[in-house]
Amino acid sequence: MGEQRSTASNEEVLARIAWSRLTEPRDRAAGLLLATLGAVEALHWLDRARQPIDRAGALAEVSGIDPEVDAKAWSRAVARWAPRLRDLDPRRELQVITRLGGSVLIPGDPAWPPGLDDLGPEAPHCLWTRGDPALLAMPAVAVVGSRASTAYGNHVSAELVAGLVDGGRAVVSGGAFGIDATAHRATLAVHGTPVAVMAGGLDRFYPAANAAMLTQVAQEGVVVSEAPPGTAPMRQRFLSRNRLIAALAGATVVVEASWRSGALSTAHHALTIGRPLAAVPGPITSAASAGCHRLLREGAECVTAASEVLQLLAPLGSVAEQVRDVPAGLLDDLDQGQAQVLDALPVRAAVDESALVRASGLSQAQVRSALGYLELAGRVRRDGPRWRRAGS
């Protein structure tokens, strides 16, 4: 759990863990209750409210918290939460995440992402993490899109991510198939900071086919969830976690999305909390980009390069100082460093990384970054410890 907390704050941590188990995401009544009473006292209130003899008095205590939550709504909330009280064991759940090498963040912790507070009563009660939670303080961009991505969408995602990492941004996405997975893999390939937001518990990464990738994300970045260990990633939880993706990022980019893509939910949440929203145009005949075109018609920023995304986040005139050799457009083949590395590769022979450093005149870090992008783009491939041009 990172740094030591006082006994009182440890009690608050355990109470917030309990509330993360008692409620489903986006439970407005729970958020209002915790904001008013605090997590510890809110548990005491619930214990009273579930007793018939004390219910009327307990409901009267919270009747004025929010005009949209009346006595009937509070009664329904108690009916939702109370059945889960018997199975609560927050200490055990804390032990589970600790054994996984993870931690729990609560509001007020130094590593708590302040952007989550923009969600108001729908903010998570706590955040379960695996990896380095301090990385959540980095400026970040969300890169999201369809699970059924096309070659075009994957290429665009990798190119955007390379530029965003070069501009000093962490890359947030949802760990799913398609654009999410491409964004994470591209971030890892260029040695950036990946942030993956899960819909279920962190004891078992989902989807299972992405488990190895998500394990690497946890090693080199951070994986987060509002759901305690053991929580199944049901459809509604996927939709709810999209607001976390939007809130953890300074801007959201939808790379490729069909008319009914779940990525449009992330876009909606970004607009709701006042974050810049951008979309990448695709072929007008592609159903895979119909959702992006819809967002563009409705006012999303049209972006075709990482530099344009960074302009949404930076004061006017400051982007050029932050970005080195960011590709000018999606149709540009390679940036200068990538072109130098590809040109340094022999037409048919395979060479190791040190040879490419000498031949290209670039640093080892620049060569590695370029190779990561070129591999994702299908331009080079590994041959043991060496690299060669694809097709050679």
Tell me the pLDDT tens digit for each residue of 19-56.
999 999 999 999 999 999 999 999 999 988 888 877 78
pLDDT value at residue 333: 58
Residues of the chain with CATH 3.40.50.450: 129-322
176 touches 217 (CB < 8 A): no
pLDDT value at residue 317: 41
Per-residue pLDDT tens digits for 213-246:
999 999 999 999 999 999 988 888 888 999 999 9
| Residue range 336-389, CATH number | 1.10.10.10
Match 């969600």 to its residue by tokens: 119
- pTM score of the predicted model: 0.78
The Cβ-side half-sphere exposure at 390, using a 13 Å CA radius, reads: 9
Residues of the chain with pLDDT under 70: 1-8, 314-333, 348, 392
Distance CA 202, CA 198 (A): 7
pLDDT value at residue 314: 60
Residues of the chain with CATH 1.10.10.10: 336-389
* Beta strand segments in the chain, E: 102-105, 127-131, 140-145, 170-173, 194-197, 222-225, 251-256, 277-279, 301-302, 351-352, 380-383, 386-389
- Please enumerate in sequence order all residues whose Cβ is within 8 A of that of 300, keeping only pairs 6 or more positions apart, or say none: 254, 267, 277, 278, 279
pLDDT value at residue 124: 97
Please give the CATH topology (third level) of the domain spanning 129-322: Rossmann fold (3.40.50)
pLDDT value at residue 205: 94
pLDDT value at residue 337: 78
Per-residue pLDDT tens digits for 310-345:
988 865 444 444 433 333 332 245 777 787 788 778
Distance CA 72, CA 334 (A): 61
